[in-house]
Amino acid sequence: MGLLNSIKKTMGGEAKPAPVATEKKVEATKEAKPVANKIKLGHVHLSGCTGCLVSVADNYLGLIKLLDDYADLVYCLTLADVRHIPEMDVALVEGSVCIQDKESVEEIKETRKKSKVVVALGSCASYGNITRFARGGQHNQPQHESYLPIGNLIDVDVYIPGCPPSPELIRNVAVMAYLLLQGNADQKALAGKYLKPLMALAKRGTTACFCDLMNDVINQGLCMGCGTCAASCPVRAITHEFGKPQGQRDLCIKCGSCYGACPRSFFNFDVIPEFEGISEIIAGAMK
């Protein structure tokens, strides 16, 4: 966790990171020698539908580029024949934890011990999503009744929300995580800015409610009326009236799902002015 702490310091904690000139950023990408310093990447599959892994794969040639130049896939039960969790730089965890299944509980704890950065990939890992409402009764495993988001059992560093998250978002986070771990000072600062809102989501965990969505997104003029929050609410506490979400607060169970699903909740004001430079960096990295 020492490295992660230094990353958090690089991000400046509460303080804003120093601005990075776009020219410098592009230069910095050209200087990078990714092949020599590949990071160890793992995919840990808990109780989920594998949709997030499919979204990773939907990067097509982009995924090949990532695995060629930036990351070695050292653990992935679906794609690699490795049975024991190895040391990893970045662990992408898909799915929630079934707390009646000792193996799953041990697996997530082991993942935390052996990973520098733990990423909750998708809404099941981040918020429990639909598994939060599973109540057992499945033919082969009727004892499996309760599922928790991984943040309820371990510290999580980054959330990538979505059901599933978009391939583009996963790719961007992968490139930025690489720069955070292996980049020069400018690259680290920029990656820190990009990841800051996703780290803030992880810090907030599942405590958000509709009022947070109202305060941080709708009242800031950021809502684009996409309806994702309403679709993600497990208790149908959100409806759409006149193109904008309306919450029934007495129904809200404060699960945080709408907040994490909203594409504007992790689009903060620190990142907006940097977005062009970030896009250039990512495009440069994927060439």
Say whether residue 256 binds ligand SF4 (CB under 6 A): yes
To ligand SF4, the closest distance from the beta carbon of 213 in angstroms equals: 5
Beta carbon nearer to ligand SF4, 86 or 225: 225
Does 272 sit near ligand SF4 (CB under 6 A)?
A: no
Q: Which is nearer to ligand SF4, 85 or 163 (CB)?
A: 163
DSSP 36-97: GGPEEEEEEE-BS-SHHHHHHHTTTHHHHHHHHHTEEEEEETTTS---S---EEEEEEESBE
Other Cβ atoms less than 10 A from the Cβ of 283: the count is 12
Q: Determine, following the binding rule CB under 6 A, whether residue 54 of this chain makes contact with ligand SF4.
A: no
Q: Which of 233, 278, 281, 285 binds ligand SF4 (CB under 6 A)?
A: 233
Residue 134, CA distances (Å) to 43, 148, 175, 232, 234 in order? 23, 10, 34, 16, 12
Q: Using CB under 6 A, pick the residue from 213, 281, 282, 285 that binds ligand SF4.
A: 213
CB-wise, 63 or 150, nearer to ligand SF4? 150
223: its two tokens: 């809502």
How far is Cα 243 from Cα 219, in angstroms, rounded to an integer? 14
Q: Which is nearer to ligand SF4, 37 or 219 (CB)?
A: 219
Gap between the Cα atoms of 50 and 85, Å rounded? 18
Q: Is 258 in the site for ligand SF4 (CB under 6 A)?
A: yes
For residue 82 the two structure tokens come to 């490795």
- When asked if residue 206 is in the footprint of ligand SF4 (CB under 6 A), the reply is no
The amino acid present at 172, given as its one-letter code, is N
CB 90 within 8 A of CB 129: no
| Per CB under 6 A, 210 contacts ligand SF4 | yes
Distance CA 194, CA 150 (A): 22
132 binds ligand SF4 (CB under 6 A): no
The answer to whether the Cα torsion of 69, 70, 73, 78 is positive or negative is negative
Please give the structure tokens belonging to residue 279.
């896009």
Nearest partner of 211 among 262, 179, 252, 159, judged by Cα: 252
Candidates 121, 228, 277, 285; binder of ligand SF4 (CB under 6 A) is 228
The verdict on 245 binding ligand SF4 (CB under 6 A) reads yes
Give the 3-state secondary structure of residue 75.
strand
Can you tell me whether residue 72 is helix, strand or coil? Answer: strand
Among 57, 254, 270, 286, the residue binding ligand SF4 under the rule CB under 6 A is 254
Note whether 49 binds ligand SF4 by CB under 6 A: no
Among 86, 136, 225, 273, binds ligand SF4 (CB under 6 A): 225
Applying CB under 6 A, does 201 fall inside the site for ligand SF4? no
- From the CB of 176, what's the least distance to ligand SF4, in Å? 22
Q: Does 203 bind ligand SF4 (CB under 6 A)?
A: no
Q: Which of 12, 51, 227, 284 binds ligand SF4 (CB under 6 A)?
A: 227
Written as one letter, the residue type at 260 is G
Give the span between the Cα atoms of 156 and 119, in whole angstroms.
6
* Interface contacts to ligand SF4, rule CB under 6 A: 208-210, 213, 217-218, 223-229, 232-233, 235, 237-238, 245, 247, 252-258, 262, 264
